[in-house]
Amino acid sequence: MQLPPLLTDTLAALLEGVPRKDLAVAAKAISDGYRQGASSHGIATPLQAAAYATARMPATYAACAAVFARLAEVMPDFAPRSLLDVGAGTGAASWAAVNAWPSLETIAMLEPNPALRTLARRLAESGPLAKAEFLSGSLDAEKPETDLMVASYVLAELPEDSVADVTHDLWQGTGGALALIEPGTPQGFARIRAARAALIEAGAHVAAPCTHDNACPMTGNDWCHFSQRLPRSRDHMLLKDAHVPFEDERYSYVVVTWAKVASGARILAPPLEAKPGLTFKLCDENGLRAQFVASRDKDEYRRVRKRGWGDLF
């Protein structure tokens, strides 16, 4: 899963003439700030915004694209005409959305940070986001109603006790589907779980990853998350001080809709493969369970052997 060629080229053009040493220093400062509890509001200069985009935009795009593919799988007839990207940052979610749904005609990005908003506008000057509207209000500002609303990597920057109220507010402006995406950490999942519960209470139905609207069955130290592999560019590797040409982005998410659409079971971990067969960790309306498929059951084994972490079973 990689950035669209046009976005890759536009981002590269923005980095022309920028000393990579300065870019790396800015990226490290942002990363250190996040570890100490800072938010994207601390990004104040064009250099910091460019460093953030180089380091984080590929992974954010990849996670959003994976989530949108899951939604399209369970709602193949969903063709949204309007999108509101809340806390848009660099605009990665909007780029992923227009790639998933060419039907989108009206796109708005709400981003309170001026440096990130300016960068997102520059990246969108040509291509499918050229006519996008950029909004500068806070997350609690009045929002236009939209077919598809996305908030990616936004809830983590909010106090945990405000997640339910913010999520409920987002849902009220959603005419079709609301997608929430967070880091695939216990803390990220905790926010997704709280948002999911609030949305179900408000009348929403879960489209993905859950195939039911029952209480989340996760207990103890377990948490629901998924992984998306993406390639790293040379600049991406430099800023991450990485030595391998790929990255695995772990993410947690929930997508809700007004009508119930999901069914079946979701695979919550990489399948365990052994000579006797495959064992899948599944979640469905009955809770968590393990499903073994024997290799001697040729038809069923052939049907599921290519199913992986995050797929429907």
Q: Has residue 41 got a pLDDT over 70?
A: no
CB 266 within 8 A of CB 206: no
pLDDT at 181: 97
Look at 7-16, 30-39, 268-277 and tell me which has the smallest mean pLDDT. 30-39
pLDDT above 70 (res 33): no
Mean pLDDT of 66-79: 95
| C-alpha pair distances (Å), 145 with each of 71, 81, 107, 196 | 20, 11, 11, 20
- Strand 146-152 relative to strand 133-135: parallel, antiparallel, unpaired? unpaired
Per residue in 101-129, pLDDT tens?
999 999 999 999 999 999 999 999 878 99
* Entry pTM: 0.91
Averaged pLDDT for residues 242-263: 88
Name which of 142, 147, 130, 136 is nearest 84 in CA terms: 147
Residues 287, 218 contacting (CB under 8 angstroms): no
pLDDT of residue 11: 85
Fold of 5-257: Rossmann fold (3.40.50)
Question: What's the pLDDT at 160?
Answer: 83
Residue 86's pLDDT band, with cuts at 50, 70 and 90, is very high
Confidence band of 25 (pLDDT split at 50, 70, 90):
confident
Query: Regarding predicted confidence, which is higher, 202 or 38?
Result: 202
Q: How far apart are CA 105 and CA 158, in angstroms?
A: 30
pLDDT of residue 170: 93
Rg (CA), the chain: 20
Over residues 220-242, the mean pLDDT reads 82
Residue 184: pLDDT over 80: yes
- The position carrying tokens 């809709």 is 257
Distance between CA atoms of residues 309 and 295, nearest Å: 19
Look at residue 141 and tell me whether its pLDDT is greater than 80: no
pLDDT at 146 over 90: yes
Q: Average per-residue pLDDT in the chain?
A: 89
pLDDT at 178 over 70: yes
Which residue matches tokens 């100490």? 36
Q: Please return the burial class of 109, using the count of CB atoms within 10 Å of its CB with bins 0-12, 13-18 and 19+.
A: buried
Domain ranges of the chain: 5-257, 266-304
Predicted pLDDT at 239: 67
Lowest mean pLDDT of 9-18, 200-209, 245-254, name the range. 9-18
